[in-house]
């Protein structure tokens, strides 16, 4: 059995040393790097060979890669690295890594061409000046082979451990049994469809009711498919923290009977949640966990590999025992884990870690996208950018003299846009070229300055720089169909205005589709993926995608659904609706005391209803969601829902309590939904509606109706969580009675049109 590894991955394992050093050194973008490599290659002789595919063996290792270039006339192999700023400031351990890669490629080339010696060159290309700095060493083939053997020997023991782990993992997943004996109704259908999708290499869009056990019903078949489909990794992607916890718990349940869990599970969390020293910079002179990081990493990596369930706390414990940064240890363990549980952005964002690793290492991955209805909004957010002129003004006031001119130039071009716009909000078909030019010059000046001043960076300037970079990146992708460019202006005086510039992704399909097709299989699942065409259009699902609607495990009698059509919750009728809603809630509570959730379109609306309910019916306990609740406050809100308790919790539809919470049995026996959940009527959403109408012919539905009812059905799904649950759902608004609205509600609901209490 061979272990395949890329040259870069081998050297990153064997040749990295010294401190973790993330002091600000502006690096080229991926596109700039590609252009730089092409520029260097174009300058070479006609016989110059680019992207030379090479491979070689060392015992059980198969090392593969592509050397940047070879000039046979000079017997010269080149490893090209792009950079910006002062080359002399490059850390020594970076240079050491680059030489290691060049020399490994050198031996592979000597072996391939039967060379007795070779000149090896590191070519550093400055993307701004387009100047090259070439460092050349001459080596005998024997010396290069010795170096290659040394690097491989350092990795071989780890590789042997990994091959043993892979064999044990594959055998365990083949033998895996469903932990609960029997599947829930519909759960087997889901699991079989997931297994078939990964076996045939297709994408699956699965709508499955809340409470069916989707987490276990998707992870189990994917694990069963790992060995036969030769999957390297299974990625479980979630929109929110509760989804990660459910996935981790499912993995624990699946392997509970194993004395030694054969699967490595890793939870990836955001940097600010993993960092132990938020007040310190990420380099050895500031943070003790960065000092000597690469010297301590091998022991930490080995220890972490022996902990099968690396959730946030377990990984932190290993990291601190070995005095390394938990966040960057998790980044390292992403390379060696089997099931990775992470937020969407780890795979779908521009600079997504998991997607980059999968591409670089040619992993065979399967992707599970939990609560996939959220991917539309999250995708739009990841591929959008905005700039606030107030942030620029603040940065200008603190900027050093060297940056005054480019910042002022950008501000002038920004102000020029105000002269053309009379309304507070306006969308444009094209991007202003003069502004983009000033933006590029400003990015260059800031990058050069930060490279020269790596210590003590101004946080405001650095924050602005990252915002400008994101804006420039999105601007490169801009087209008038997939994006909206708009300006929101606010007047400070008769003569002075500030504005916010936004590049808003409207259809993330073109950017999400390549991530889906790069995987062996992608399964997107949720209780609310109706209508199918909405998700096909906005997520760019492959043409071969299979659609699955799983039957509900619940009987219609378990959830009594009432449409209260005599009340309108439209904004113009809101004040008049408060008293009737209070009367309805009180009557229902008296008929069947217990815990209820009441959802409204805004905090103001829920407070009006809650205040009148408390005044008119003080014996009914109420607790309210508030703006900006932290994790502890959200947990305290949920703890009010005690088994066999009595009271009403008030929440905003689409907020923290509208999905992803589990209140089984008597913890929650009913819900009131006093809104269709429609997005706010404003100029931006009207612009979105026009764009949706032009692209798909369903402007109102794509912008307002489908996203709104998605939130309604998610909220309703909090009521029935298990086979023995019973509950009631009140849908309060006359528009729920419309046929096109009712068609979008779950088919298993038996809907009454009276609103009477039960």
- Domain 556-752 class, CATH top level: alpha beta
Average pLDDT over residues 134-150: 97
3-state class (DSSP) for residue 216: helix
Task: Tell me the average pLDDT across 693-707.
Answer: 96
Question: φ and ψ at 384, to 5 degrees?
Answer: -120, 170
The whole-angstrom separation of Cα 734 and Cα 747 is 20
pLDDT of amino acid 456: 56
Where does the pLDDT of residue 25 fall: very low under 50, low under 70, confident under 90, or very high at 90 and above? low
Domain residue limits, the chain:
3-156, 179-265+341-383+508-552, 269-333, 404-504, 556-752
pLDDT at 237 over 90: yes
Contact 77, 70 (CB under 8 A): yes
Distances (CA, A) of 406 to 83, 85, 402, 457: 22, 17, 9, 18
pLDDT at 755 over 60: no
Q: Is the pLDDT of residue 758 over 70?
A: no
Mean pLDDT in residue range 355-371: 95
pLDDT at res. 657: 94
Q: Is the pLDDT of residue 573 over 60?
A: yes
Please tell me the distance from the alpha carbon of residue 751 to that of residue 558, in angstroms, as a whole number. 12
Q: Which tokens sit at 61?
A: 């290792």
**What pLDDT score was predicted for residue 459?**
78
Q: Which carries the bigger pLDDT value, residue 31 or residue 46?
A: 46
pLDDT at 23: 66
Contact 514, 485 (CB under 8 A): no
Say whether pLDDT at 757 is over 50: no
Average model confidence (pLDDT) across the chain: 93
Give whole-number Cα distances, 17 to 9, 188, 269, 357, in Å: 14, 50, 25, 21
Model pLDDT, residue 86: 79
Radius of gyration of the chain, Cα coordinates, nearest whole angstrom: 29
- Asked whether residue 728 carries a pLDDT value surpassing 70, the answer given is yes
The pLDDT tens digits for 575-600 are 999 999 999 999 999 999 999 999 99
**Residue 24 has what pLDDT?**
56
Rounded Cα–Cα distance for residues 750 and 556 (Å) = 6
CB 525 within 8 A of CB 213: no
State yes or no: pLDDT of 624 exceeds 50.
Answer: yes
Closest by Cα among 225, 194, 198, 234 to 212: 194
Residue pLDDT, tens place only, 491-504? 777 678 899 999 99
Report the distance separating Cα 641 and Cα 425, nearest Å: 43
Residues of the chain with pLDDT > 90: what percent? 80
Backbone angles phi, psi at 166, to 5 degrees: -60, -40
- Report the sign of the C-alpha dihedral through residues 285, 286, 287, 290, in that order: negative
Q: Which of 717, 594, 718, 575 is nearest to 646 (CA)?
A: 594
In words, the CATH class of domain 179-265+341-383+508-552 is: alpha beta
pLDDT at 719 over 80: yes
Strands 365-369 and 204-207: what pairing? unpaired
Indicate the range of 95-109, 218-232, 413-427 predicted with least confidence: 413-427
The set of residues, in sequence order, having a beta carbon less than 8 Å from that of 488 and lying 6+ positions away, is 424, 425, 499, 500, 502
Instruction: Provide the pLDDT confidence category of residue 457 given band limits of 50, 70 and 90.
Output: low
pLDDT at 470 over 90: yes
pLDDT at 744 over 90: yes
* Stretch (H or E) spanning 613: helix 603-616
- For residues 230 and 196, is the Cβ–Cβ distance under 8 A? no
Whole-number pLDDT of residue 525: 97
DSSP for 327-382 reads: HHHHHHHTTT-SEEEEETHHHHSTT-HHHHHHHHHT--EEEEETTGGGHHHHHHHH
pLDDT tens for residues 525-557? 999 999 999 999 999 999 999 999 998 888 899
Q: For residue 561, give the nearest of 388, 746, 705, 396 by alpha carbon.
A: 746
Helix axes 293-305, 312-321, angle to 10 degrees: 130
Residues near 217 by Cβ (< 8 Å), separated by ≥ 6?
183, 184, 187, 188, 190, 191, 194, 208
Residues 6 or more apart whose CB falls under 8 angstroms from that of 618 comprise none
Closest residue by Cα to residue 326 from 275, 392, 362 = 275
pLDDT in tens, 95-125: 999 999 999 999 999 999 999 999 999 999 9
Question: What is the band of 756 on the pLDDT scale with cuts at 50, 70, 90?
Answer: very low
Report the share of the chain in percent with pLDDT over 70: 98
pLDDT in the model for residue 627: 94
Q: Would you place residue 660 in the very low, low, confident or very high pLDDT band (cuts 50, 70, 90)? A: confident
Task: CATH number for 3-156: choose from 3.90.320.10, 3.40.630.10, 3.40.50.1000, 3.40.50.12280.
Answer: 3.90.320.10
Across 620-721, the runs of DSSP E, i.e. the strands, are 622-624, 647-652, 670-673
Render pLDDT for 276-308 as a digit per residue (tens, 0 to 9): 998 887 888 889 999 999 999 999 999 999 999
Same fold, 3-156 and 556-752: no
Q: Is the pLDDT of residue 85 over 90?
A: no
How confident is residue 26, by pLDDT bands cut at 50, 70 and 90? low
562 conformational bin, left if phi > 0, alpha if psi -120 to 50, beta if neither: beta
- Range with lowest mean pLDDT among 79-93, 113-127, 645-659: 79-93
Q: How far does CA 59 lie from the centroid of its chain?
A: 39
CA-to-CA distance for 446 and 2, rounded, in angstroms? 47
Taking CA atoms, 57 is separated from 14, 158, 172, 315, 583, in Å, by 16, 16, 29, 34, 78
**What was the pLDDT predicted at 169?**
95
Span 222-248, mean pLDDT?
95
């Amino acid at each position: 059995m061979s272990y395949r590894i890329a040259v870069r991955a081998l050297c990153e394992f064997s040749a990295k040393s010294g401190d973790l050093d993330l002091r600000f050194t502006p690096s080229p973008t991926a596109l700039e790097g590609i252009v730089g490599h092409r520029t260097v290659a174009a300058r070479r002789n006609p016989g110059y060979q680019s992207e030379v595919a090479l491979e070689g063996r060392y015992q059980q290792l198969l090392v593969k890669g592509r050397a940047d270039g070879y000039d046979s006339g000079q017997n010269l192999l080149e490893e090209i690295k792009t950079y910006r700023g002062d080359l002399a400031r490059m850390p020594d351990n970076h240079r050491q890594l680059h030489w290691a890669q060049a020399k490994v490629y050198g031996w592979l080339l000597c072996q391939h061409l039967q060379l007795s010696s070779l000149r090896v060159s590191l070519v550093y290309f400055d993307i701004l000046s387009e100047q090259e700095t070439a460092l050349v060493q001459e080596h005998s083939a024997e010396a290069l082979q010795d170096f290659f053997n040394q690097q491989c020997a350092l990795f071989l023991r780890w590789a042997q451990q990994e091959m043993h782990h892979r064999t044990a993992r594959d055998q365990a997943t083949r033998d895996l049994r469903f932990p609960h004996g029997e599947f829930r109704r519909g759960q087997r259908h889901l699991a079989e469809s997931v297994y078939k999708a990964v076996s045939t290499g297709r994408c699956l869009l699965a709508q499955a009711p809340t409470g069916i056990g989707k987490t276990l019903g998707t992870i189990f078949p994917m694990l069963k498919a790992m060995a036969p489909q030769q999957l390297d990794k299974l990625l479980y992607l979630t929109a929110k923290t509760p989804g990660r916890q459910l996935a981790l718990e499912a993995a624990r349940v699946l392997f509970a009977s194993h004395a030694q869990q054969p699967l490595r599970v890793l939870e990836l969390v955001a940097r600010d949640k993993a960092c132990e020293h938020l007040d310190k910079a990420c380099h050895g002179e500031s943070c003790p966990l960065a000092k000597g990081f690469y010297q301590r990493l091998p022991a930490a990596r080995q220890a972490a590999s022996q902990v099968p369930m690396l959730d946030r706390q377990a990984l932190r414990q290993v990291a601190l025992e070995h005095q390394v940064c938990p966040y960057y240890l998790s980044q390292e363990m992403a390379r060696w884990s089997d099931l990775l549980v992470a937020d969407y952005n780890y795979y779908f964002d521009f600079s997504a870690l998991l997607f980059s690793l999968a591409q670089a290492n040619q992993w065979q991955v399967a992707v599970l996208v939990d609560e996939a209805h959220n991917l539309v909004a999250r995708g739009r957010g990841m591929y959008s950018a905005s700039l606030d002129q107030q942030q620029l003004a603040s940065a200008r006031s603190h900027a050093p003299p060297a940056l005054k001119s480019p910042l002022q130039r950008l501000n002038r071009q920004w102000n020029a846009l105000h002269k053309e716009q009379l309304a507070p909000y306006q969308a444009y078909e094209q991007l202003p070229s003069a502004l983009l030019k000033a933006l590029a010059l400003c990015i260059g000046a800031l990058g050069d300055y930060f490279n020269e001043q790596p210590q003590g960076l101004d946080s405001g300037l650095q924050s602005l720089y990252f915002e400008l970079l994101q804006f420039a990146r999105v601007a490169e992708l801009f087209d008038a169909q997939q994006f909206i460019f708009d300006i929101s202006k606010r007047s400070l005086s008769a003569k002075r205005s500030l504005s916010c510039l936004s590049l808003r992704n409207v259809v993330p399909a073109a950017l999400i589709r390549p991530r889906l097709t790069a995987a062996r299989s992608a399964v997107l699942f949720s209780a609310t993926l109706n209508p199918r065409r909405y998700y096909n259009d906005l997520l760019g699902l492959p043409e071969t995608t299979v659609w699955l609607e799983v039957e509900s495990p619940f009987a219609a009698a378990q959830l009594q659904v009432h449409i209260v059509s005599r009340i309108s919750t439209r904004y113009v009728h809101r004040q008049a609706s408060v008293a009737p809603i209070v009367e309805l809630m009180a009557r229902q509570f008296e008929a069947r005391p217990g815990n209820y959730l009441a959802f409204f379109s805004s905090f103001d609306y829920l407070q009006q209803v809650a205040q009148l309910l408390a005044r008119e019916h003080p014996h009914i306990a109420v607790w309210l969601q508030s703006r900006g609740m932290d994790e502890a406050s959200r947990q305290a809100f949920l703890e009010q829902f005690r088994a066999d308790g009595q009271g009403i919790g008030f929440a905003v539809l689409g907020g923290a309590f509208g999905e992803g919470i589990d209140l089984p049995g008597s913890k929650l026996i009913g819900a009131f939904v006093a809104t269709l959940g429609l997005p706010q009527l404003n100029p931006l959403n009207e612009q979105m509606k026009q764009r949706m109408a032009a692209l798909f012919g369903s402007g109102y539905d794509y912008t307002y109706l489908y996203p709104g009812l998605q939130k309604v059905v998610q909220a309703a799904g909090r009521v029935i969580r298990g086979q023995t649950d019973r509950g009631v759902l009140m849908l309060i608004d006359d528009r729920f009675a419309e046929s096109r609205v009712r068609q979008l509600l779950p088919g298993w609901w038996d809907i009454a049109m009276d609103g009477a209490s039960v």
